[in-house]
């Protein structure tokens, strides 16, 4: 049996705890579909800086390029947040990796498990039935634009928000194509009333719209989109937006799903996709068995669906997470007043429950 090569980048903080369970979920679900894995671990972020001085060592990029898919935990450390003048930073590693792998499309599904309706800070009747697929542009915009820097003896700082037509077009096509397989509504989010780069964005999306005449396109300003997401999230189906707006709006949207700890993402654009939870490294809870491993486990399901052409294994993982939630098990970030105290689990116990449930479901349904 040919092994599938996965490059695992645990990163920083809770990254190791959660990717350990992602790895096990893949192995367990894969075993029912004749999928065997080979996991190679590489450094990224603060962990990489400590070991090598660089946030993304060459071996990491090479390991990712040679793999069939990449599983990432999280990067970041408070040391840098408290010292903004530090030149070498963990986030540079992640950005360089995205760029180096050509991952221009970050797909973030806002998937709402009915069992978690009470975990959201929003009203149940507003969020029930929400199903949004975000397409966040990932290798352009203000995150990468040049020039950037300081002038006037460091008293003035600037960044450049820049988009080329082809950058908008390639991700817009992916979003249109996804909308065609869903409710056929595409919200393109920009700030075209103010920003030149947004006016180009809007122009390109408008041009493409004629090729996808079955999709209804709604252009929305980002400030309004931020408000509409909370007011009436069900109006959205596919949302297409730039790098920074997408970063912000998906954190906001995570609250519809109950917790950042539930959301998975896929970064695509070239042969090797990168799959990661959208949450950060959460240094405040690292190493305490408190992190929610479900976002990472759900990221491995996305990996099966989109990168490994093994949708049945992906579905098995999602079904197992759903079943565990249905029984009432919760990590702290997704518990509510109704949660029984004996059903509040740590990272390890939640991970183990999911594995156990993968076995139970698979033995019932997968033909031997």
Active site residue 223: yes
Residue 91 contact partner, candidates ligand IPM, Mg ion, none, CB within 5 to 8 A by sort of partner: ligand IPM
Active site residue 191: yes
Smallest gap from Cβ 343 to Mg ion, in A, equals: 30
Q: Is 137 in the site for Mg ion (CB under 5 A)?
A: no
Q: CB nearer to Mg ion: give 130 or 254.
A: 254
Q: How far apart are CA 252 and CA 165, in angstroms?
A: 27
Active site residue 143: yes
Nearest CA to 186 out of 177, 194, 196, 195 is that of: 177
Q: Which residue's C-beta sits nearest to ligand IPM?
A: 91
Q: CB nearer to ligand IPM: give 252 or 319.
A: 252
The 3-state secondary structure of the chain reads CCEEEEEEEEECCCHHHHHHHHHHHHHHHHHCCCCEEEEEECCCCHHHHHHHCCCCCHHHHHHHHHCCEEEEEECCCHHHHCCCCCCCCHHHHHHHHHHHHCCCEEEEEEECCHHHHHHCCCCHHHHCCCEEEEEEECCCHHHCCCCCEEECCCCEEECCCCCCHHHHHHHHHHHHHHHHCCCCEEEEEECCCCCHHHHHHHHHHHHHHHHHCCCEEEEEEHHHHHHHHHHCHHHCCEEEECHHHHHHHHHHHHCCCCCHHHCEEEEECCCCEEEEECCCCCCCCCCCCCCCCHHHHHHHHHHHHHHCCCHHHHHHHHHHHHHHHHHCCECHHHCCCCCCHHHECCHHHHHHHHHHHHHHHHHHHCCC
Q: CB nearer to ligand IPM: give 91 or 252.
A: 91
Smallest gap from Cβ 361 to Mg ion, in A, equals: 32
Residues 26-45 that bind Mg ion (CB under 5 A): none
Smallest gap from Cβ 333 to Mg ion, in A, equals: 16
The single residue of 212, 247, 329, 333 carrying the catalytic annotation is: 247
Q: CB nearer to ligand IPM: give 28 or 139.
A: 139
Q: Is 91 in the site for ligand IPM (CB under 6 A)?
A: yes
Nearest CA to 62 out of 42, 32, 82, 35 is that of: 42
The single residue of 32, 77, 80, 143 carrying the catalytic annotation is: 143
Smallest gap from Cβ 15 to ligand IPM, in A, equals: 11
Smallest gap from Cβ 280 to Mg ion, in A, equals: 7
Active site residue 329: no
What token pair was written down for 313? Answer: 């294994």
Interface residue with Mg ion, options 12, 247, 276, 333 (CB under 5 A): 247
Residue 76 contact partner, candidates Mg ion, ligand IPM, none, CB within 5 to 8 A by sort of partner: ligand IPM
Interface residue with ligand IPM, options 94, 253, 256, 298 (CB under 6 A): 94
Residue 20 contact partner, candidates Mg ion, ligand IPM, none, CB within 5 to 8 A by sort of partner: none
The single residue of 191, 237, 329, 353 carrying the catalytic annotation is: 191
Q: Are 45 and 94 in contact (CB under 8 A)?
A: yes
Q: Mask: binding to ligand IPM, 244-283, rule CB under 6 A, as x and -? A: ---x------------------------------x-----
Classify residue 46 by burial, with Cβ atoms within 10 Å: 0-12, 13-18, 19+.
Answer: buried
Q: Which residues contact 359 (CB under 8 A, 6 or more apart)?
A: 28
- Number of residues counted as binding ligand IPM (CB under 6 A): 5
Active site residue 322: no
Residues 210-249 that bind ligand IPM (CB under 6 A): 247
Residues 71-90 that bind ligand IPM (CB under 6 A): 76
Smallest gap from Cβ 160 to Mg ion, in A, equals: 20
Smallest gap from Cβ 157 to ligand IPM, in A, equals: 18
| Binding positions for ligand IPM, rule: CB under 6 A | 76, 91, 94, 247, 278
| Binding positions for Mg ion, rule: CB under 5 A | 247
Active-site amino acid positions: 143, 191, 223, 247, 251
């Amino acid at each position: 049996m040919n092994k599938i090569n996965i490059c695992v980048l645990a990163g920083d903080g809770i990254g190791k705890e959660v990717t350990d369970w992602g790895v096990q979920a893949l192995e367990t679900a894969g075993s029912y579909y004749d999928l065997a894995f080979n996991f190679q671990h590489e450094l990224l972020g603060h962990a990489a800086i400590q070991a090598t001085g660089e946030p993304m060592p060459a071996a990491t990029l090479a390991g990712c390029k040679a793999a069939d898919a990449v599983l990432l935990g999280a990067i970041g450390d408070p040391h840098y947040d408290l010292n903004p003048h530090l030149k070498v930073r963990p986030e540079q590693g992640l950005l360089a990796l995205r760029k180096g792998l050509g991952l221009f499309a970050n797909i973030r599904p806002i998937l709402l498990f009915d069992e978690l309706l009470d975990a959201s800070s929003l009203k149940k009747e507003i969020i029930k039935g929400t199903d949004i697929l975000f397409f966040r542009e990932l290798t352009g915009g203000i995150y990468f634009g040049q020039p950037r820097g300081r002038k006037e003896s460091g008293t003035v700082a600037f960044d450049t928000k820049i988009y080329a037509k082809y950058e908008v077009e390639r991700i817009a096509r992916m979003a249109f194509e996804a909308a065609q397989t869903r409710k056929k509504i595409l919200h393109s989010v920009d700030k075209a009333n103010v920003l030149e780069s947004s006016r180009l964005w809007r122009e390109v999306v408008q041009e493409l719209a004629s090729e996808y005449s079955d999709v209804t396109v709604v252009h929305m300003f980002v400030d309004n989109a931020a408000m509409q997401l909370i007011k009436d999230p069900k109006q959205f189906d596919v949302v297409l937006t730039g790098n920074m707006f997408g970063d912000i709006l998906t954190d906001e949207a995570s609250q519809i799903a109950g917790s950042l700890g539930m959301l998975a993402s896929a970064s695509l654009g070239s042969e090797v996709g990168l799959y990661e939870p959208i949450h950060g490294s959460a240094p405040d809870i690292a190493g305490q068995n408190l992190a929610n491993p479900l976002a990472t486990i759900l990221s491995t399901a996305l990996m099966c669906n989109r990168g490994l052409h093994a949708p049945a294994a992906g579905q098995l993982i999602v079904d197992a997470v759903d079943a565990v939630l249905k029984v009432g098990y919760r990590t702290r970030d997704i518990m509510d007043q109704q949660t029984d105290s004996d059903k509040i689990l740590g990272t390890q116990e939640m991970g183990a429950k999911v594995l156990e449930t993968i076995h139970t479901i698979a033995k019932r349904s997968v033909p031997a």
